[in-house]
Amino acid sequence: MIDQFPEREAQTSSNQKQSSLSQVLSDRSIAVRRKLPTTFDNGKLNTCPSVARKRRKETFDIAQKVHGGGPESELPGSVGIIDTALNKCGSGVLVDMLSTNKKFNSSVLPAIYKKKLLEYESSHENMIRSVSVYYSGGVAGKKKYRKIYKDSSYKKSIKSKKCLRASVNNCPLPRLVPYHKLMGFIKTIPLGKIYSVYDNLCDGLDDLQKVHGCYRNMKDILVKLAEFYLSGYSGHTINWFGQEYTFSVSLGGDGAPFGKNDVACAWLVSFLNIERGVLSSNENHLLFGANCTETCLPVQRFIKILVADIAVIEQQSFPCTFKTSSGDIHTVNVKFQVSELPNDENDCIFIW
């Protein structure tokens, strides 16, 4: 039968709560505490330590009765108090109280954090982060990367020669992926076929004319770059210059004093569609690199291959499949148009 007097039901519930509370506290004690409630200001309770201890005990005794705990087991009362605090207390109260508690900061928070830390350090996200560090501002190399790895996660100890793990509030800083694991991951990245200058462009030359280096097929690298920029992971907005899905290609080659034979030659490729991003060294990608001069015979042979590839590429369209940040997979046909060529005198002579 439905209660036709809801105000009577509410009064009965209130009386039951009052009766339950009166089993622990007297009416006079309840009245006094309402005038002097427990509050938290400037990182401290407003009650004296003895009163705070008494109120904690009384709160816990009630929690044991409510949640089924007893002298033989304090777990239900503990779980009940924590569950109530997490669900009933606002985030501001939790932050203010927990951030000043020594037990929570020295023991509880580090224990929670370290479990997540181990998961993060072995995650794919940390691997990508480490790859970014390794290639940021040019290739770091083994020695420099290990130095960054050490300096970003460890600090020198005053008392001993050993380095200590750097931490904040007993929570260690996340480490980069160790160098040997990073190199193992990088070698698994599909870069397409890499050709050897020594094996493919030095036929018939004597040993003094042969050089070491690598180069890539122009079509392969253009399609790979198109997939990368279309996916949106680069962060660049693509300007199509009125021709959608037509990439304007910039090619550049030059030599400089460097390397084993005191010279090195490189050819770079980039897209003008990313506008000012093309000015960044991070957006210019290596097409050819060898320890030789820009006028040597292997470079001349490479340029002949390059010119033939350009003539074929500009007459065709290529299917390009890419995955966006939202997880959607798209396939479009793209075209490539070489818009800029080297203005270096030697390279222009070879091309024409």
Structural domain spans, the chain: 6-106, 109-186, 194-351
Q: What is the pLDDT of residue 79?
A: 87
Q: What is the pLDDT of residue 352?
A: 44
- Angle of the 124-135 helix axis to the 141-153 helix axis, nearest 10: 120
Cα 234 to chain center, whole Å?
A: 14
Its pTM stands at: 0.66
157, 163 contact by CB (below 8 A): yes
Calpha distance 243→239 (Å, rounded): 9
Q: What is the pLDDT of residue 247?
A: 96
Closest residue by Cα to residue 7 from 19, 27, 30, 15: 15
Q: Residue 233: what residue type? A: Y
Q: What is the mean pLDDT of each run of 10 residues along the chain (352 residues)?
A: 49 51 69 82 82 85 79 79 88 88 89 93 94 86 94 86 87 95 92 92 91 94 93 88 94 76 86 86 89 89 93 95 84 94 57 46
